[in-house]
Homo-oligomer: A and B are copies of this chain.
Amino acid sequence: MNIAIIGLGNIGSYLYKYLLSNKKILEKKNNCLPNVIYVSAKNKKRKRNIKISKNKWLANYLDATKLKKIDIIIELIGGAEGPAKKLVFNALKNKKHVVTANKALIAKYGDKLSKIAEENNVNLEFEAAVCGGVPVIRALKEGLIANKINRVYGIFNGTSNYILSSMDKENKNFKEVLIKAKKLGYAEKNPKSDLNGEDVASKLKILSSLCFNSFINNNIFVEGINFIDKFDIDNANNLGFKIKLLGVSEIIDNKIYQRVHPTLIKKTSYIASIDGVLNAVIVDGKPIGQNVIQGEGAGPEATTSALVSDISSILRGNIKFPFSISNNERKKLLYKEISDRSYSAYLRFDVVDKPGVLSNITNIFSKNKVSIKRLIQNPSKSKKFASIIIITHTSKDRFLNKVLNQIEKKTYIIKRPKLIRIGIN
């Protein structure tokens, strides 16, 4: 089968080399030869450490969607709009198989794209879009096909997980760790979508629709790790927790709850042990019980592993619905806002240390019927200020936020208060 790779950054170049040097073993395993006959990239002259003969370069990247001899298009441009969108829509319409690592595109246009793929009887594969080398998409579509899944959650972003676990281990603050992460290549120059939860949100939306046989649901609560500081990490530690950025999607009473937020997780739990740039996906279903898949979440190596599994599936002629089930059968799920979800929480109030403050704060908790499980007051060195850490009993998110908002307005508050949810229940 003839392949065109569109986009030759770190990942595209690594994939190109991989396919060249592993042609034979892939042919042996799939009974079909993968042949890269065309490439295209915005910057043709960039250093890539690969030799590509001139006649392999497409004049225009969109030619890949028109040339008859191309069977599979690998989209590695990135971004939900612009050239990536144009390429994938046109490719599927012209009956080309598409393999993509583009989570933003699939999270936004996955429903439309899968409809076109199904109508044209071609594959749209996106293993590389979710948690890089963790073969979770294929596991959901094939290995775990028998299961009715009611929850999927985990650590889906290596950059933010590296930052949180480094703050924990190395006694450094957010800024210091972010600088180190950039140096090591664990954070991009502009790590915005990694830190604000958007990257996790895209992956979670894709996982949800695969797990629940539903259309992509855009109702999702998203909060990043930008506001977490070393003091929170230390407090969590003292209380027996780690802070992790989790994506959680679950079905409760036939409605979907989707949320991305930093979460206090018991130190002894499996998910607390996932450190550094690792990703982990946990699936709860019937009859299987719980299943965990863990691995490298990003980088050219892990992403190539995912891309090649998609390419191999196409080489074997394993035509499948992009979201595991025909679009006619996918459901539109009713959703619930996170405000209806209940959990215990960690709240932090930095206050002026004067009489009456503590009683005012606890009074606001009591009025809103949020009951306090544990309270720790730490004075600052100057003794003028204090940090009050409160662990609540289980309470609805909306009441926790009400408490937060009411206390935030008080004149004794010197910093924006914090709410970090505990556990995943």
Binding site for B on A (CB under 8 A): 14, 18, 22, 26, 28-30, 127, 133-135, 138-139, 142-147, 270, 273, 286-296, 300-302, 304-305, 307-309, 312-313, 316-318, 320-321, 324-326, 329
How many Å from the CB of A412 to the closest CB on chain B? 42
Whether A309 contacts B145 by the Cβ 8 Å rule is yes
Whether A146 contacts B28 by the Cβ 8 Å rule is no
Closest 10 A/B residue pairs (Cβ): A135-B143, A146-B308, A287-B301, A292-B294, A291-B295, A138-B143, A288-B305, A146-B305, A289-B296, A133-B288
Chain B residues, CB < 8 A from A291: 133-135, 293-296
Chain B residues, CB < 8 A from A312: 142, 145-146
Whether B146 contacts A139 by the Cβ 8 Å rule is no
Known A144-B135, A144-B309, A312-B145; contact A287-B320, beta-carbon cutoff 8 A: no
How many Å from the CB of A346 to the closest CB on chain B? 24
Copy number in this complex?
Answer: 2
The CA-CA distance from A270 to B142 in the complex, in Å, is 26
Residue of B nearest to A30 (CB): B145
How many Å from the CB of A275 to the closest CB on chain B? 10
Whether B145 contacts A308 by the Cβ 8 Å rule is yes
Whether B316 contacts A304 by the Cβ 8 Å rule is no
Q: A138-B142, A146-B307, A146-B312 are in contact. List 12 more A-B contacts (CB 8 A).
A: A29-B324, A133-B291, A135-B143, A135-B291, A138-B143, A139-B143, A143-B143, A287-B300, A287-B301, A288-B296, A289-B295, A291-B294
Whether A144 contacts B305 by the Cβ 8 Å rule is yes
How many Å from the CB of A13 to the closest CB on chain B? 13
